[in-house]
Amino acid sequence: MNMAYLEGRLRRDESGSAESEHTGYVLEVEVDMSDVLEAEDLIGEQVALPGEVTLIDFPDRGKILVFKANSAAAIEDEEEDEESE
């Protein structure tokens, strides 16, 4: 079994999701979107990001685990799809 190691800021999910639909916790991970041309258009959207996890050594912050996205796509909410029908 392959295990992933992630490092980030753990926070409670404050979105009001039902307990059965969410664990209640979110681990925020920094994302490098430098290869994604439409990155600014996707801010605030639910997105799918293929890519890889990498360790970047920043001069001031030191080594930080970052997800490097190689593309991105917005994901439409199911509720929005049902309303448009």
2: pLDDT strictly greater than 50: no
Rounded (5°) CA angle 45-11-23: 80
Query: What predicted TM-score, i.e. pTM, was given to this entire model?
Result: 0.60
pLDDT in tens, 10-23: 788 776 655 556 66
SS3 of residue 32 by DSSP: strand
Contacts by 58-62 with C-beta closer than 8 Å and gap 24+? none
3-state helix, strand, coil in the chain (%, to 5): 15, 35, 45
pLDDT in tens, 17-45: 555 566 677 777 888 999 999 999 998 88
Band of pLDDT at residue 1, cut at 50, 70 and 90: very low
Q: Is 62 left (phi over 0), alpha (psi -120 to 50) or beta?
A: left
